[in-house]
Structure 1
């Protein structure tokens, strides 16, 4: 009975690091309210799944064996993922991409844990408990590097520009999941159950999933590098638009100056004409008319 509760606890607890890893790339846009929802939600899901899975085994509805936990993993995995997906939204394809990367990482760790235990421990009674302990140990060892890798996946500006990259993520979002599905459908589990003494199969299985991990790392670096290139192109476009705006302002200023010069030329021409008329009036002794012309010029200057 104690072994059942320990095994189920380790099984349910093994889902929590991956839940945090899926959340980590989105931390840059998560509000304090969303963070509280995720913390409380994951703890509630953990407690509910622990009680339900433990009751399933204690009441005899299922036997503690590898196949049972493989099926339960897919069932218990989704509540954690859906909680994150509907709390930090609407980044549906981003979430699928992160889910696929995390699945690649998780599949590799599960493969490494089970192959390691098959080499050193095959006692049936405690094998599953030791398997989850080994898996969690590998998680703790590799988790800091995965946090650094996933932390480089998104930045705040990239997520806020989701409309500009929506078409891109519609195609890329499913790639890691398709790779994981391809690896999972290669029939390794059935082959290992039928043939236990082929170490070459174990080695090939581990190496193939290491290659899958490398592909996942390349995808992360490609997304990050691609976003940098997009930022460089956007900054160049913004600089080009700023230069065009400055050129437009200079052109408008030049047009304004040209119009002002034309007005000044007209004013100089009119002024010379009026002064010549006034000089002729004064020479002819028409002082009243000259005074009226002077007042008219003064009034015109005030209006301008």
Structure 2
């Protein structure tokens, strides 16, 4: 029973770091209540799965055969996946993209852990000592997490997540998962266990996983550079719109200035005409008419 609990415990623990990696790119828009909810949800899922799997193994409904944990992974990781996508939404295809990147990392760590396991503990490998594998896997996974977090750190910014969702994620989101599916069905896991110790097979698996890692890395870099380029284009467009608005304001000001100059010219012309009339009235001794003209001019000035 102790071996069962230890192995199942390590298996359930191995699901938690990947869950955090999937959350990490979305951390910038997750508030404190959301974070607490996710932590509580993942812990509850962990406890329920640990209890359920321990009982199933203890009662003999599950056995420690080759591939049992590989099959259990798809079932046991699904609640962690659904918890995040329904808590931080509606970024469905971006969640798929991050899930694919995380799967690429997990497959690579899994392959490396298997090679280390076979190299250092060949007897334990032959007798399915899974708890030793999980110890190696968790150690390698945690050692590589800082690098993976650095890669995912700037994948999404709050502005990208909260702004308009680009349509290209609909087509790009599933790409890493499709790559993982292709590599996962390359026939490596269906080989005779004795063949897995052949140097050629070991070299092949390591090289293919390295290629998969490089493809994932280049994909992330391409996405980041593409998004930055799109942001620069949007910023340039905003600046152009601002400049256009400023030019429109300047044009309106110039039009109003020309109109005022035109009105001022008319006013100067009228003023000269009225001054001539006033001078003629004074010269001819028509003081009353001159006074009335001055009063009328004063009223017009007040109205203006």
TM-score range, shorter chain: over 0.9
Which residue pairs with 2:19 in the alignment? 19
Which residue pairs with 2:157 in the alignment? 155
Shift in CA distance, 144/196, structure 1 to aligned 2, threshold 3 Å:
closer
Which residue pairs with 2:278 in the alignment? 278
Deviation string 1:196-231 (CA, Å, 9 cap, x unpaired) is 442201210111011101111111111111122112
How many Å separate the matches in 2 of 1:273 and 1:154?
Answer: 73
Which residue pairs with 1:212 in the alignment? 212
How many Å separate the matches in 2 of 1:107 and 1:209?
Answer: 7
Query: Contact 2:96–2:177 (CA<8 Å) still a contact in 1?
Result: yes
Name which of 136, 140, 143 aligns with 2:142. 140
Which residue pairs with 2:133 in the alignment? 131
SS at match of 1:3: helix
Shift in CA distance, 46/241, structure 1 to aligned 2, threshold 3 Å:
same
SS at match of 2:28: coil
Which residue pairs with 2:52 in the alignment? 52
**Cα offset, 1:173, TM superposition:** 0.4
Query: Which range moved further: 120-129 or 171-180?
Result: 120-129
Alignment of 1:81-230 (within 5 A): 81-121=81-121, 122-123=123-124, 124-125=126-127, 127-163=129-165, 165=166, 167-193=167-193, 195-230=195-230
Shift in CA distance, 277/4, structure 1 to aligned 2, threshold 3 Å:
same
Query: Which range moved further: 209-218 or 122-131?
Result: 122-131
How many Å separate the matches in 1 of 2:75 and 2:128?
Answer: 23
Which residue pairs with 1:251 in the alignment? 251
Alignment of 1:61-72 (within 5 A): 61-72=61-72
**Gaps in structure 1 of 5+ consecutive residues:** none
How many Å separate the matches in 1 of 2:296 and 2:164?
Answer: 67
How many Å separate the matches in 1 of 2:215 and 2:56?
Answer: 38
Give the paired residue count.
Answer: 302
How many Å separate the matches in 1 of 2:196 and 2:156?
Answer: 43
Query: Contact 2:13–2:46 (CA<8 Å) still a contact in 1?
Result: yes
How many Å separate the matches in 2 of 1:279 and 1:116?
Answer: 113
How many Å separate the matches in 1 of 2:164 and 2:16?
Answer: 28
How many Å separate the matches in 1 of 2:164 and 2:12?
Answer: 34
How many Å separate the matches in 2 of 1:160 and 1:214?
Answer: 29
RMSD, aligned α-carbons: 1.3
Query: Contact 1:66–1:128 (CA<8 Å) still a contact in 2?
Result: no
How many Å separate the matches in 2 of 1:94 and 1:192?
Answer: 37
How many Å separate the matches in 2 of 1:192 and 1:98?
Answer: 33
**Cα offset, 1:184, TM superposition:** 0.7
**Cα offset, 1:65, TM superposition:** 2.2
**Cα offset, 1:192, TM superposition:** 4.2
